[in-house]
Amino acid sequence: MVRKPFFSVVMPTRNRASLLPTAIRSVLGQTFEDFELIVSDNQSDDNTREVVESFQDPRIKYFRTSDFLTINNSWASAVGHATGEYVAFLCDDDAYGKVYLEAFKTEIDSSNLDLAACGMPQYYEHPHYESAYKLTAPRFTNAAQTIDCFGREETVFRYMFAKGGLTTFPDDFDPVGLPYLSNGVYRREIFLELKQRLGSVFPRDLASTDVYSSTIILSQFTKRYAYIDKPLYIQRVSDVSLTRSPDIEKQKKTYGRPSHDLGRFNSYFVDFSYSNLWVEACLLAAADTGFEIDFELNWAKYYLKAYDSLMYLQDRGFDMRAEIASFFGTVERQSKSIRDEVLPVVNSPRARLSRFLRTSKAARPLLKMRQRAEPQVDEGMVGLNDELTIDEYAARLDDEFLEKYARQGVTI
């Protein structure tokens, strides 16, 4: 009988041969070694196969899809090759900290978990960002928090909608952070049950598949979940990033209005908001599982959050005037109660003056220069504020480093 590994690390990829070595090295360098690495090549036309085979490690299993697959089907195909007790995900341009799997194994052994996740700092690999070549993981405690999810479907959905800025957080469900597929490990049986119930491991082809899937998995298939407050999954942000690209036109397309029919909720969405993907994913998860939303969704909170994201980008020199004009048009079409909550805030004298300066052709370059000249300094980024390669950060994130720089009582 063939012995099965404890973890299956699943990594779908397509035409990322130049980035793959970092991801693969971060897996092979794990302190916990009972794993298999599934590299699922989605019809790449570069030298992906040669890069994978160059590592010559028997724990690596390379598969090539017979046809080109959409993103969700590519992930589902990769999961289908997993044989381990738990499935972990790794995007082909990201990296694990060296104690990633060990940290999860420790918590699984102590708490009999169905699902666990950890902190996910970003590594900005583009000079557009002030924190280029550094990690954005200012605070972590090293603590683990376990949550009972069984029989708490409404609580989970309310929490997910609250993360999207549409309602208040439930008092009795307060995990420090959430699983986004890539930063979590899942009992493999969950995906078998998910496929049996919804017909596919990942039924929706969304840019926010992780939020959609996590909402369903936490609410329907998880008894015990733990969040480990350690920055162990390094998410690379570069020109090729799908949802965090420095290309503003790509961002506008990604974070535009949902393309799915969301019924009575369609008219609420603005043309640009970082919350759009999240809220769309939660609404689709509710529809696909038959969950009735009985709690109030506060769309005024959504609009205020959307306005903040528009101002954030305008501050950084991007021209968001068309999106700002559309924002006000959408708010004006809402109910009086929503308008009365949103418009006094965004139309206050101070906000109007700030918006004029941000959108002025003369003032915008000055604001951008000042923003670059006065970079934000966070004292909590001690140890994470050095300009290193992503490989160096992956090797740095061991137990000794985490113990040295943990900030007790403060979370990411």
Please say if the pLDDT value at position 105 is more than 70. yes
23 and 88 part of one domain: yes
323 and 229 part of one domain: no
213 and 128 part of one domain: yes
* Average pLDDT of the residues in 342-357: 80
Nearest to 42 by CA among 2, 91, 3: 91
Pick the most confident of 2-6, 242-246, 298-302. 298-302
Residue 384 lies in a domain: no
* b (16+ CB within 10 A) / e for 249-280: eebbebbbbbeeebeebeebbbbbbbbbbbbb
pLDDT the model gives residue 302: 95
Q: Are the C-beta atoms of residues 74 and 39 closer than 8 Å to each other? A: no
pLDDT the model gives residue 389: 87
Q: How many domains does the chain have?
A: 2
- Band (pLDDT 50/70/90 cuts) for residue 171 is confident
pLDDT the model gives residue 138: 56
Q: Is the dihedral of CA 357, 359, 360, 366 positive or negative?
A: positive
- Band (pLDDT 50/70/90 cuts) for residue 71 is confident
Q: How many CB atoms lie within 10 A of CB 61?
A: 15
Residue 197 lies in a domain: yes
Residue 309 lies in a domain: yes
pLDDT the model gives residue 126: 64
Looking up tokens 């949802």 gives 243
pLDDT the model gives residue 408: 52
pLDDT the model gives residue 381: 46
pLDDT the model gives residue 241: 58
- Domain at 182, CATH number: 3.90.550.10
83 and 177 part of one domain: yes
235 and 309 part of one domain: no
Share of the chain above pLDDT 70, in %: 86
53 and 136 part of one domain: yes
Residue 157 lies in a domain: yes
236 and 332 part of one domain: no
Residue 97 lies in a domain: yes
Please say if the pLDDT value at position 375 is more than 60. no
Domain enclosing residue 25, as ranges: 7-241
Helices (H), 168-244: 189-198, 209-220
Least confident of 16-30, 154-168, 379-393: 379-393
Please say if the pLDDT value at position 84 is more than 80. yes
Residue 144 corresponds to which amino acid? Answer: A
pLDDT the model gives residue 172: 79
Please say if the pLDDT value at position 335 is more than 90. yes
101 and 169 part of one domain: yes
97 and 214 part of one domain: yes
Average pLDDT, the chain: 87
pLDDT the model gives residue 177: 87
Least confident of 70-84, 96-110, 133-147: 133-147
pLDDT the model gives residue 368: 54
216 and 315 part of one domain: no
Q: Are the C-beta atoms of residues 38 and 61 closer than 8 Å to each other? A: yes
23 and 147 part of one domain: yes
DSSP state of 85: S
Residue 247 lies in a domain: no
| pLDDT tens profile 243-293 | 555 678 888 888 999 989 999 999 999 999 999 999 999 999 999 999 999
3-state secondary structure of 237: strand
Of 241, 262, 288, the position where a domain reaches its end is 241
72 and 165 part of one domain: yes
Residue 140 lies in a domain: yes
| pLDDT tens profile 210-244 | 899 999 999 999 999 999 999 999 998 876 655 55
Residue 111 corresponds to which amino acid? Answer: S
Share of the chain above pLDDT 90, in %: 61
Total-model pTM: 0.86
pLDDT the model gives residue 122: 86
Residue 150 lies in a domain: yes
pLDDT the model gives residue 376: 46
Euclidean distance between CA atoms 99 and 149, whole angstroms:
26
Nearest to 179 by CA among 145, 151, 206: 145
Least confident of 45-59, 145-159, 383-397: 383-397
Please say if the pLDDT value at position 409 is more than 60. no
